[in-house]
Amino acid sequence: MLKDILTIVIPCKNEGINIYDCLGLICMQKNISSTRIIIADNSDEEESMWWLWRTEMDFKYSVNIEIIKGGYPAKARLEGSKLVTTPYILFLDADIMLKQRDLLEKIAQESKDLITVPFVTEKKWNWIFRLFDLFQFLSIKLGTPFAVGGFQYWNTKAYWECGGYKAEELFAEDYSVSHLVDSKKFKIHKTEGVYTSARRFKNKGVFYMVWLMIKCYVNRNNPEFFKQHHNYWS
């Protein structure tokens, strides 16, 4: 059973129905029963807080849901990871939809320090995530693996050896920690694709997001770079 080896950590802020849909599909994963799911929440909108309450009520008999205080994604993931006692951690975003029902069961059979997956989104925006695929492939060749925070399946020991998430980081905290993994112990798991929203590209624009990715690579060894928000959350 996954509950014996895996804890799922999800940062959440004003996600509305997204968090409900996300948990609903997690609960449909094979062998997921009673798996611990830590939701690090920082919501301040009544509707989102209601959906979070509804999520806890509707799925508490399928999985072990624990809600803690969150913050910016890095802090939320860090606080969640501090509570993990299982050999593996899966970091998910609240708008992630796991539609392949045996995905986590299959990934659990892998032996890597960090595993991520390809993403799919609305048809109009799918080409952007194929660009992400290219960036991830190049990151492996360059010895600086890039795993989007929306899906990071970590060996817990390796996660802490890489320093874990850092509460003071406000931007690209996923790359800040994932690029420290040995490329030989990093894998992009072949799958039908994990659904995510394209909201960041819609809000910030494609060219700006690509420019930020390039800057992340250039500044990968500059801790101060990741402590600035770069207008990402505005």
Mean pLDDT of the residues in the chain: 92
Residue 10 C-beta-side C-alpha neighbours within 13 Å: 28
Which residue has better confidence, 143 or 192? 143
Confidence of residue 200 (pLDDT cuts 50, 70, 90): confident
| Rounded Cα distance, 140 and 211, in Å | 19
Asked if 140 and 183 count as a contact pair (C-beta separation under 8 A), the reply is yes
Cross-sheet strand order for the sheet of 88-92:
64-69, 36-41, 6-12, 88-92, 151-155, 114-116, 186-188
Rounded to an integer, the average pLDDT of 101-110 is 96
Query: Measured between alpha carbons, how far is 145 from 139 in angstroms, rounded to an integer?
Result: 5
- pLDDT value at 234 more than 80: no
Q: What pLDDT digit, counting tens, does each position of 139-181 carry? A: 898 899 999 899 999 999 999 999 999 999 988 899 999 999 9
Q: State the pLDDT at residue 203.
A: 81
pLDDT of residue 28: 97
Residue 206 or residue 57, greater confidence: 57
- pLDDT at position 135, please? 83
Sign, Cα dihedral of 165, 168, 173, 177: negative
In CATH, 2-227 is 3.90.1150.10? no
Which sign does the torsion angle of CA 199, 165, 174, 123 carry?
A: negative
What pLDDT is recorded for position 123? Answer: 87
Tell me the C-alpha distance between 117 and 190, whole Å.
Answer: 7
pLDDT confidence tier of residue 193, bands split at 50, 70 and 90: confident
Indicate the Cα dihedral angle 36, 56, 70, 139, nearest 10°: 60
Nearest one of 192, 225, 227, 194 to 93, comparing CA atoms? 194
* pLDDT for position 145: 93
Q: Can you give the pLDDT at residue 211?
A: 87
Backbone angles phi, psi at 212, to 5 degrees: -65, -40
User: Residue 233: pLDDT band by 50, 70, 90 thresholds?
Assistant: low
Q: By the 8 A CB rule, do 191 and 107 touch?
A: no
Extended beta strands in the chain, E state:
6-12, 36-41, 64-69, 88-92, 114-116, 119-120, 151-155, 186-188, 194-195
Is the predicted pLDDT of residue 232 greater than 90, yes or no? no
Which of these, 207, 214, 141, lies nearest to 172 by C-alpha position?
214
Q: What is the mean pLDDT of residues 175-193?
A: 91
pLDDT band of residue 99 (cuts 50, 70, 90) is: very high
